[in-house]
Amino acid sequence: MESIQAIKQRFGIIGNTRALNRAIEKAIQVAPTDISVLVTGESGVGKESIPKIIHQLSHRKHNKYIAVNCGAIPEGTIDSELFGHEKGSFTGATQTREGYFEVADGGTIFLDEVGELPLTTQVRLLRVLENGEFLKVGSSKVQKTNVRIVAATNVNMFEAIEKEKFREDLFYRLSTVDIHLPPLRDRQEDIHLLFRKFASDFALKYKMPTIKLTDAAVQMLLKHRWAGNIRQLRNIAEQLSVLEQNRTISAETLKSYLPATSSNLPAVIKTSKAESDFSSEREILYKVLFDMKSDLNDLKKLTLELMKNGNTKDVEKNNESLIQKIYGNDEDDAEYEEDTVDNNEVLSIPEHAVKRDALDTIPDKYHFAEEIEEEETLSLQDKELELIKKSLERHQGKRKLAAAELGISERTLYRKIKQYDL
């Protein structure tokens, strides 16, 4: 039997936490059998490696491995995708088509986001699991297949069963063995290790020196909640690698890349399989621009207060949180706590009304500046709109996923959807 270390190396898995090792060990143990496996864990924890390990270590390894993202296939076509269809069985079915269960005969099918399967498809799946039988859409001829199924989910299946969105019998049939991958926040000793690996990968990719974290920045990394888990950690390592000229990353710099997440966000956040990577540099740059714009607007607010009020002490007292937000507090670095203030979010652009009220009270010469600023804000808003639209598209309109990807709360995203009339 291949060792856990060898498997990690072969499949590019970094980390040494007990729970991770246990998950890999379980995958190695069940691989030679035909037992159905359900891989569970939050979004971005690395669930996709497990079915690959199972397939590669099984007697099926020379046959097909097909990964199907159940959440990404429209409800109307999923039966046909999985089980095939007969010619003429529905409008547009001009040819008889083989489904994945026929193509993968003798192999493995990975059903990712299995919780998203429509109930009618669940009935068909249960039948295949029980006796290997299925029907093509529009056919009454029973066909046989021999497929091993590994499924994955990041939704709470018990909740889905409770809400009658998922069949209990199918759940138990799928999860003969459950392999759970822990969230990154529970893998403390792996966080910095993973970051260093990603930093070195991106240094190679972008042909730049490897970034390094200060001790305070490492502490901040360890304390972060990592709602998007390893995928999110990799994104941040990529952004820092591309954008930071100073290759030693301080806690303050790192903080500006970490989204201000609300501590009461649900622990389970799904994203669709479509990579939520911000991998295009343009997107990364827009994100940074929004950050800067937000800081600038905050500074303007503060300057206006000072101009109106003159009294520095009062202004300081009344705007404590704003000052804190703009200038931060160096001593805080080591004891970094996630910010729960909603308007500290990456994509937030302060409401115009607020600015206008304040600006109405100052002399004319500043109106000129405001007009220019208004235009810049508009074009930035276009970019923001574009980012939000793209993210919603990528996640088929699922706000929770889009919000997680954009690093803002669902509430802020909802506000922006309304604002842009999306």
The binding site for ligand ATP (CB under 6 A) comprises 12-15, 41, 43-49, 154, 194, 230-231, 234, 271, 273
Which residues bind to Mg ion, rule: CB under 5 A?
Answer: 48
Supply the minimum distance, in Å, between the C-beta of residue 398 and ligand ATP: 12
CB-CB contact of 348 with 401 (8 Å)? no
297 binds, among Mg ion, ligand ATP, none (CB under 5 to 8 A by kind): none
Partner that binds at residue 45, options Mg ion, ligand ATP, none, CB closer than 5 to 8 Å by kind: ligand ATP
255 touches which of Mg ion, ligand ATP, none (CB within 5 to 8 A by kind)?
A: none
Q: CB–CB of 50/31 below 8 Å? A: no
Nearer to ligand ATP, 227 or 413 (CB): 227
- Out of ligand ATP, Mg ion, none, what residue 15 binds, judged by CB under 5 to 8 A for its kind, is ligand ATP
Contact 223, 336 (CB under 8 A): yes
Burial class (CB in 10 A: 0-12, 13-18, 19+), 201: middle
339 closest CA partner among 224, 233, 183, 216:
224
The amino acid at 67: A
Of the two residues 14 and 358, which places its CB atom closer to ligand ATP in the complex?
A: 14
CA dist., res. 112 & res. 71, Å (int): 8
17 contacts which partner out of Mg ion, ligand ATP, none, CB within 5 to 8 A by kind? Answer: none
Q: Tell me the two tokens of residue 294.
A: 């937000």
Decide which of ligand ATP, Mg ion, none touches 154; Cβ closer than 5 to 8 Å per partner kind.
ligand ATP
**Residue 222 binds which of ligand ATP, Mg ion, none (CB < 5-8 A, kind-dependent):** none
Nearer to ligand ATP by C-beta: 39 or 147? 39
Shortest separation between residue 104's beta carbon and ligand ATP, angstroms: 20
The least CB distance from residue 403 to ligand ATP, in Å, is 14
* Separation between Cα atoms, residue 256 and residue 339, nearest integer Å: 11
Which CB, 48 or 105, lies closer to Mg ion?
A: 48
Q: Helix or strand or coil: residue 144?
A: strand
Query: Which C-beta is closer to Mg ion: that of 108 or that of 219?
Result: 108
128's contact among ligand ATP, Mg ion, none, with CB below 5 to 8 A by partner kind, is none
The pair of three-digit structure tokens given for residue 2, joined into one six-digit string: 């291949």
Question: What 3 state SS string does 205-243 have?
Answer: HHCCCCCEECHHHHHHHHHCCCCCHHHHHHHHHHHHHHH
Beta strands 108-112; 148-153: pairing state: parallel
Beta carbon of residue 205, minimum distance to Mg ion (angstroms, whole number): 22
Please name the residue that has the structure tokens 């959440």: 71
The token pair that represents 412 in the structure block: 């802020």
Find how far residue 168's CA is from the centre of its chain.
27
Q: How far is the CB of 17 from ligand ATP (least distance, A)?
A: 9
Q: What is the dihedral of CA 275, 278, 281, 287, to 10 degrees?
A: 170
Min separation Cβ 184 and Mg ion, Å: 15
The nearer residue to ligand ATP, 64 or 273, going by C-beta atoms, is 273
CB of 228 to Mg ion, least distance (A): 12
CB of 404 to ligand ATP, least distance (A): 9
Q: Select from ligand ATP, Mg ion, none the partner in contact with residue 13, using the beta carbon and a kind-dependent cut-off of 5 to 8 Å.
A: ligand ATP
Residue in the block written with tokens 């039948």:
127
Which residues are CB-contacts of 91 (< 8 A; sequence separation ≥ 6)?
none
Single-letter residue type at 161: I
* From ligand ATP, Mg ion, none, interface partner of 167 (C-beta below 5 to 8 A by class): none
Place of tokens 């669940």: 122
Beta strands 248-249 and 97-98: pairing type?
unpaired
At residue 116, the 3 state secondary structure works out as helix
Comparison of 73 and 302: residue with beta carbon closer to ligand ATP: 73
Angle CA 301–306–312, to nearest 5: 130
Residue type, 228: G
Smallest gap, in angstroms, from Cβ of residue 21 to ligand ATP? 11
Q: Considering the complex, what minimum distance in angstroms separates the CB of residue 27 from Mg ion?
A: 15
Comparison of 147 and 230: residue with beta carbon closer to ligand ATP:
230
Which residue number has the CB closest to ligand ATP?
46
Closer to ligand ATP at the Cβ: 231 or 255?
231
How would you classify the pairing of strands 133-135 and 142-144?
antiparallel
Query: Nearer Cβ to Mg ion, position 235 or 412?
Result: 235
